[in-house]
């Protein structure tokens, strides 16, 4: 076929692939009712012609753009920031652009303002990274006709949700310390109003209770190394403390320093397990045993849920739980 002098159109793709332009449209919209061989042929024609869909024209036909809106808290914390990055990549791979609306707090006023802005942009759907309980009231006002998926939201909300199994991750961390021979495990949690914190507290407490171990007092903190250091200063003065599970790796980092300053060696005197598996965790002294969250899997699952809603696919699941992974390094040992 001779190369066209203008930019290739959908009809050019259809002619090269030997199908109708309606079939090309179905492939571009990832419609399920297309034979795999046909889909491959159309994709090959698109690649050969370097065809790029007319996003503006599609928006006029469908009433929606190839744009996904995201509502997220303005945060540099590793978990939320990683989740957002992974979702942007997953959306780009599927041919969607992402418009991020960041808010200082997940309250009604802030969320309503961002949602209105996304609606003005005629977004195809909305993803909300709603990791705190205070967001529940504001999120109830999102228009019901708009496809929406929540990440790290309230499991009891009944809304389409994708989350890491925080309870299972905490259970794995706590059980690993018990299996090393420790009689009990202390826990330094994140903020109580975060769903992630609540799940990790639940998993820690359940594991101790099922093992018949004493449940020590909960030490509540934020997510920072500074708060971990303050908690660690107290724990380091308590000789009965031999094992600590922290709600994230930055808390663990602060605790490691506090223990070191008091001459308590890790893991010889105290074992420590974190959560998240930040890139630096393998380079802590000692390298930190932690729980890895599969942010990429969460992002792709959230996008899949959202696309299912856009296609009005009634068979799409509405709650996906992604398992975490215990990463064993050198910060856990038997009690002295």
> What is the average pLDDT across 107-131?
83
Question: Does the pLDDT of residue 230 top 90, yes or no?
Answer: yes
Question: Does the predicted TM-score (pTM) go above 0.85?
Answer: no
SS3 call for 71: strand
| Domain 166-293 coded CATH 3.40.50.2300 | yes
Question: Does the pLDDT of residue 190 top 50, yes or no?
Answer: yes
Percent of the chain with pLDDT over 90: 56
DSSP states along 11-69: HHHHHHHTS-HHHHHHHHTT-SSS-HHHHHHHHHHHHHHT----HHHHHHHHSS-SEEE
More confident residue, 73 or 333: 333
Of the CATH numbers 2.30.30.90, 3.40.50.800, 3.40.50.2300, 3.40.50.620, which one belongs to the domain with range 65-164+295-324? 3.40.50.2300
pLDDT, position 131: 80
Q: Is-same-fold flag (65-164+295-324; 166-293)?
A: yes
pLDDT category, 108, cuts 50, 70, 90? confident
Average pLDDT over the chain, rounded to an integer: 88
pLDDT, position 1: 41
Phi, psi of 148 (to 5 degrees): -145, 140
pLDDT, position 11: 85
**Quick one: which H or E segment has residue 205?**
helix 195-210
Domain ranges of the chain: 10-53, 65-164+295-324, 166-293
Convert the pLDDT of each residue in 217-226 to its tens digit: 999 999 999 9
CATH fold, domain 10-53, is 434 Repressor (Amino-terminal Domain) (1.10.260)
Question: Does the pLDDT of residue 55 top 60, yes or no?
Answer: no
pLDDT, position 136: 66
Question: Does the pLDDT of residue 279 top 50, yes or no?
Answer: yes
SS3 call for 116: helix
pLDDT, position 317: 62
H helix count then E strand count, the chain: 12, 12
């Amino acid at each position: 076929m001779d190369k066209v002098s203008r930019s290739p159109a959908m009809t050019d793709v259809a002619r090269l692939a030997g199908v109708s332009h309606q079939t090309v449209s179905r492939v571009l919209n990832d419609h399920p009712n297309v034979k795999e061989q046909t889909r491959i042929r159309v994709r090959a024609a698109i690649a050969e012609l370097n065809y790029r869909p007319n996003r503006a024209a599609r928006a006029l036909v469908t009433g929606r753009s190839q744009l996904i809106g995201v509502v997220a808290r303005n945060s540099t914390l590793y978990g939320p920031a990683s989740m957002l990055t992974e979702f942007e990549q997953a959306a780009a791979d599927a041919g969607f652009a992402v418009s991020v609306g960041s808010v200082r707090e997940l309250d009604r006023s802030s969320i309503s303002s961002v949602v209105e802005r996304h609606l003005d942009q005629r977004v195809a759907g909305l993803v909300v990274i709603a990791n705190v309980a205070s967001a529940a009231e504001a999120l109830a006002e999102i228009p019901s006709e708009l496809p929406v998926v929540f990440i790290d939201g309230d499991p009891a909300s009944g809304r389409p949700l994708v989350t890491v199994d925080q309870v299972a991750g905490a259970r794995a961390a706590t059980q690993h310390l018990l299996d090393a021979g420790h009689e009990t495990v202390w826990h330094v949690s994140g903020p109580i109003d975060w769903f992630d914190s609540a799940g990790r507290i639940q998993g820690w407490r359940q594991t101790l209770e099922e093992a018949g171990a004493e449940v020590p007092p909960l030490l509540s903190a934020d997510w920072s190394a500074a708060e971990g250091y303050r908690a660690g200063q107290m724990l380091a003065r308590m000789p009965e403390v031999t094992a600590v599970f922290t709600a994230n790796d930055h808390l663990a980092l602060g605790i490691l320093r506090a223990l070191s300053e008091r001459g308590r060696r890790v893991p010889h005197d105290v074992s420590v397990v974190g959560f998240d598996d930040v890139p630096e965790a393998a380079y802590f002294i000692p390298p930190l045993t932690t729980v890895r969250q599969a942010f990429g899997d969460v992002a792709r699952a959230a996008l899949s849920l959202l696309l299912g809603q856009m296609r009005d696919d009634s068979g799409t699941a509405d709650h996906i739980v992604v398992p975490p992974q215990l990463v064993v390094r050198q910060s856990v040992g038997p009690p002295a």
